[in-house]
Structure 1
Amino acid sequence: MTQTLLFACDLSAENRAAYARSIRLANESGARLDVLHVLDPYLPHRVLHDLEEAVVADMQAMLTDLREDYALTAPSVMLQTVAGAPYAEIVREAYDRNADLIVLGSHRKRGQPDLIAGTTLARVLRSAPCPVLSVSQPANRDWEDILVPVDFSLASRHTLREALKRFPESRLTLLHAWNIAGERVLGSDQHYARWRDSEVARLRCQLERETDQLMSELDSVPEVELVLEQGDPLEVLLTRLRRQPPDLLALSSRGQLSRQSHITEALLAEPHCDIMLCRAW
């Protein structure tokens, strides 16, 4: 069955990178690209009819421009408008079309995480039936380096499986941050140091076993590096993104790293890279 990639288009200048990335992803995966624009349902009926024709024409013109700008071939495309609340229509259409991936542009109010919670992007993330991709980087940037925070939760395992399945030719870095009790008080104690080292070794073995198990289920797997860093998981992740931003961050929408919504809001307000968020199921 042909996969469907759903791109929510708002025709803004900031949306161009996400539109181009959608075209590229559709070409690379052989998926059908459904481009959706949500209209204000409270406009007069005659205005809605005329606006629909204009919006579809603009979506087609932008599609043509982006294909020329990025030298992209034309995927199978369907352009459509619907009227309603943007986040509700995007989620509903994703369910109806059995979408494999939803693509949206990044939030425009950068540096203002307190404004993220009520945005279309944040609301889609909470209810989407499939992974959601927030795009902020140019589409000609390859996703060669992908960062996947892992915490041994079911949501984390699902996200890792999605990354392994979707990007078999990329390099994956699995980042696990750990906090071991007593480090500040007992860090210089010789016996504690030996126990701490054995605990880190145990964590690495657990990561390796889980990764190997997932890889055994797939036909093709990418290069994988395991990274263990001590510290609060949220702070470790943000520090890593600032110092060594990947091309793509694959993040679970449940589990240790996203247990507090402010981390997702901070990442979306100041995106260091493109972000793929996956549900636990």
Structure 2
Amino acid sequence: MAHTLLFACDLSAENRAAFARALRMANESGARLDVIHVLDPHLPHQALRDLEPLVIEEMQRILTDLREDYALDEPATLLQTVAGAPYAEIIREAHEREVDMIVLGAHRKRGQLDLVGGTTLARVLRGAPCPVLSVSHLATQAWQDILVPVNFSLTCRHTLRETLKRFPEANVTLLHAWNIPGERELGSDSHYAQWRDNEVARLRQQLEREIDQMMGEFDAVPEVHLELEQGDPLEVLMNRLRRQPPDLLALGSRGPLGRQGHLTEQLLAEPHCDVMVCRAW
């Protein structure tokens, strides 16, 4: 079955970067691009009927402009409107169309963490049946450097497989945050320091074996680097994003971080890069 990308278009200027990324991805993968706009179901029926062709016309105009701006061919495309609650309709359409990925624009109210949780983007990330891309950067920026936080939970393994499968030519960095018991109390003790260093080396070897085993499942895999950093997983990730943002961050909808809901909201409010969120399994 041919792959399908689903792009939710809200017709805003901020949405153009995500539209361009969806168009570029469809061109590169040969997928069909389904573009939907969700109308307010509380509008009068006649208003909905009058509005639908105008919205389709505007989506086609934006599509044509983006193709010209980015010098892209037009993939197989379907432009449609639906009526309902935006997050529910996007999830429903993704289920019914069996789409390969959902592409959405980034949250507009950047820096306002308290406003993120109830947004369409946050709700779709929690309930989508497929990977969801939140796009905040221009489509001219290639995804060469991809960061994947890992702890090799089921969610993490699924996310890593999705990343390796979708981006076989990228440079993938696996980030694992570690904490060794007794660091605060015994960190200055030389015997403890030696034991800690041995434990970290053992952890690295274990993670490298896990990675090698997973790599064996693919014919072509990207270049993979493993980074171990000490600290709380959320703090380690956010510091890494601020210090050296990747082109794309890939993580699961549940884990590998304990405060996943807070993490997702913080990433949406403070988008250092484009984000791909994968279902838990």
TM-score, normalisation: structure 2? 0.98
1:237 and 1:245 map into 2 onto residues whose CA distance is 10
What is the CA distance between 1:131 and its match in structure 2? 0.5
RMSD (CA atoms): 0.9
What is the CA distance between 1:39 and its match in structure 2? 0.2
2:52 is matched with: 52
Matched ranges for 1:69-148 at <5 A? 69-148=69-148
Q: Is residue 197 from structure 1 mapped to residue 207 from structure 2 by the alignment?
A: no
What is the CA distance between 1:261 and its match in structure 2? 1.1
Matched ranges for 1:201-280 at <5 A? 201-257=201-257, 259-280=259-280
1:81 and 1:164 map into 2 onto residues whose CA distance is 33
User: For each residue in 1:131-163, what CA deviation from the matched residue of structure 2 results, as whole angstroms up to 9, or x when unmatched?
Assistant: 110000000000000000001211011111110
User: For each residue in 1:191-215, what CA deviation from the matched residue of structure 2 results, as whole angstroms up to 9, or x when unmatched?
Assistant: 2112111111121112111111111
What is the CA distance between 1:258 and its match in structure 2? 5.3
1:258 and 1:78 map into 2 onto residues whose CA distance is 39
Amino acid at match of 2:274: D
Partner of 2:246: helix, strand, or coil? coil
1:258, 1:264 within 8 Å by CA — same for their partners in 2? no
What is the CA distance between 1:255 and its match in structure 2? 1.9
1:63 is matched with: 63
What is the CA distance between 1:65 and its match in structure 2? 0.2
Partner of 2:257: helix, strand, or coil? helix
1:127 and 1:61 map into 2 onto residues whose CA distance is 31
Amino acid at match of 1:41: P
Amino acid at match of 1:166: R
1:113, 1:262 within 8 Å by CA — same for their partners in 2? no
2:149, 2:256 within 8 Å by CA — same for their partners in 1? no
1:215 and 1:271 map into 2 onto residues whose CA distance is 29
Amino acid at match of 2:193: A
1:106, 1:134 within 8 Å by CA — same for their partners in 2? yes
* 1:73–1:89 Cα change, 3 Å: same
What is the CA distance between 1:66 and its match in structure 2? 0.4
1:258 and 1:266 map into 2 onto residues whose CA distance is 14
Identity of aligned residues (%): 75
1:198 and 1:73 map into 2 onto residues whose CA distance is 54
2:155, 2:256 within 8 Å by CA — same for their partners in 1? no
2:38 is matched with: 38
Amino acid at match of 1:227: E
2:84 and 2:202 map into 1 onto residues whose CA distance is 51
What is the CA distance between 1:182 and its match in structure 2? 1.0
What is the CA distance between 1:100 and its match in structure 2? 0.6
2:176 is matched with: 176
1:37 and 1:205 map into 2 onto residues whose CA distance is 48
What is the CA distance between 1:260 and its match in structure 2? 3.6
Partner of 1:75: helix, strand, or coil? coil
1:165 is matched with: 165
1:145, 1:246 within 8 Å by CA — same for their partners in 2? yes
1:223 and 1:216 map into 2 onto residues whose CA distance is 13
What is the CA distance between 1:256 and its match in structure 2? 3.3
2:78 and 2:127 map into 1 onto residues whose CA distance is 23
What is the CA distance between 1:187 and its match in structure 2? 1.1
1:18 and 1:257 map into 2 onto residues whose CA distance is 27
2:3 is matched with: 3
2:264 and 2:258 map into 1 onto residues whose CA distance is 7
2:254, 2:260 within 8 Å by CA — same for their partners in 1? no
Partner of 2:227: helix, strand, or coil? strand
User: For each residue in 1:7-28, what CA deviation from the matched residue of structure 2 results, as whole angstroms up to 9, or x when unmatched?
Assistant: 0000000000000000001111
2:260 and 2:204 map into 1 onto residues whose CA distance is 25
2:253, 2:260 within 8 Å by CA — same for their partners in 1? no
1:252, 1:258 within 8 Å by CA — same for their partners in 2? no
